[in-house]
Amino acid sequence: MDNYREEIIEHYKHPQNYGHLSHADATVHERNSSCGDVIDMEVAYEKGAALSAEGASTSTAAGAAKIQNVRFTSDGCSISRASASMLTEEVKGMSRADIAKLGPQDIFDMLGVNIGTTRAKCALLPLDAMKKLIKLPAKHE
């Protein structure tokens, strides 16, 4: 269990995919009203898989659009930031449809520690943001 705690601390201190994308297809801002944690998440889809403004895919089914890159910035606790870091690593290359299937237990399993009821919202904030993000239509240049 100590290894898991160390991994959370490492992801908190040195989060993966932290920062902004130069060309994001969609962005979202989420806030945990319980504790004040905030996250901004940006995604870029693989070329040829972007959605039109009407939500129709230009080359593939909407759910098949795969994430090429994802970034986040956050102001929150160690659990929230570590969860975002781990989740953004996990979803690269995944389709929107597969991401939509992710649930709370997937996040808890990634974190590898027992998350109490109080901290569950912190751990799930990045997943909530990701689920909203993949529902947004892609921006066009």
pLDDT per residue as tens digits for the range 26-85:
999 999 988 899 999 999 999 765 444 444 444 445 567 899 999 999 999 999 999 999
Residue 67, both tokens: 């994430």
Would you state the pLDDT for residue 53?
41
- Give the start-end residues of each E strand in 3-92: 26-31, 38-45, 67-75
Structural domains of the chain in order of their starting residue, each with its CATH number: 2-133 (3.90.1010.10)
pTM (whole model) above 0.95: no
Would you state the pLDDT for residue 20?
98
Cβ-contact 66, 94 below 8 angstroms: yes
